[in-house]
């Protein structure tokens, strides 16, 4: 299956994608992890990306799309893929549709993980990554509202959006996600 996880910062996209990757046995593609790895490796792309993610801004579409296109062309993605944090803009969603159409592999499902703002701040304060300070999280939420939320409508029109309550324990959220995936696998869906 090809599944996208979308949601505000700290919604649990990465947490749930890790679990689902093991459950479904498919590749986990996290653009956040890929950009941080490129930064740690000291590449030009990593330096460019860091100048955005360190201040809570989205990395430009063409940079992220390039990274994903390269990863998607690798053989292990053929059997399925979990997109964690990608796409984050409508332009990225259109680019992903085009890449998948070229490979004859449509997107099966988009799981929107929903949590209230107060919980975003609580979760990220206890994680403490460099981009988890209060001002940067506010900016990340702002970017989510203006650039990522319009994705819901984009995927709703395609009939593949499923909203999942992201509050409660990671186990409870995972059970909800497995349920929407099972439903999506049924022939009538």
Angle at 172 between CA 155 and CA 36, to 5 degrees: 60
Give the number of other Cβ atoms within 10 Å of residue 145's Cβ. Answer: 10
Among residues 98 and 189, whose Cβ is nearest to ligand B4P? 98
**How many Å is the Cα radius of gyration of the chain?**
16
The C-alpha atoms of residue 25 and residue 159 are separated, in whole angstroms, by: 25
Work out how close the CB of 4 gets to ligand B4P at its nearest, in angstroms, rounded to a whole number: 10
Handedness of CA 47, 16, 8, 106 (dihedral sign): positive
Name the minimum Å distance from CB 14 to ligand B4P.
Answer: 3
State yes or no: residue 14 binds ligand B4P (CB under 6 A): yes
> Does 116 sit near ligand B4P (CB under 6 A)?
no
The answer to whether 52 contacts ligand B4P (rule: CB under 6 A) is yes
Burial label, 175 (beta-carbon count in 10 A; 0-12, 13-18, 19+): exposed
- Residue 140 binds ligand B4P, judged by CB under 6 A: yes
Question: Which position among 2, 4, 9, 109 is part of the footprint of ligand B4P (CB under 6 A)?
Answer: 9
Q: Report d(CA 120, CA 123) in Å as an integer.
A: 5
* CB closer to ligand B4P out of 117 and 185: 117
Tell me: does residue 31 bind ligand B4P (CB under 6 A). yes
Q: Is 67 in the site for ligand B4P (CB under 6 A)?
A: no
Binding site for ligand B4P (CB under 6 A): 7, 9-15, 31-32, 35, 52-53, 56-59, 64, 85-88, 92, 123, 127, 140, 169-170, 173
């Amino acid at each position: 299956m090809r599944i996208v996880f979308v949601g505000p910062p700290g919604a649990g996209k990465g947490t749930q994608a890790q679990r689902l990757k093991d459950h479904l046995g498919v590749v986990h593609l996290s653009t956040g992890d890929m950009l941080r790895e490129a930064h740690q490796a000291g590449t030009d792309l990593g330096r460019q990306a860091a100048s955005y993610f360190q201040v809570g801004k989205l990395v430009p579409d063409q940079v992220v799309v390039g990274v994903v296109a390269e990863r998607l062309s690798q053989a292990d993605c053929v059997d399925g893929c979990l997109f964690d944090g990608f796409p984050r803009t409508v332009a990225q969603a259109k680019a992903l549709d085009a890449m998948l159409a070229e490979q004859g592999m449509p997107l099966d499902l988009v799981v929107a993980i929903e949590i209230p703002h107060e919980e975003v701040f609580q979760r990220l304060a206890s994680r403490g990554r460099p981009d988890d300070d209060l001002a940067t999280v506010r900016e990340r939420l702002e970017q989510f509202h203006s650039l990522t939320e319009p994705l819901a409508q984009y995927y709703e029109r395609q009939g593949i959006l499923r909203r999942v309550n992201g509050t409660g324990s990671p186990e409870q959220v995972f059970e909800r996600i497995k349920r929407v995936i099972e439903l999506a696998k049924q022939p009538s869906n």
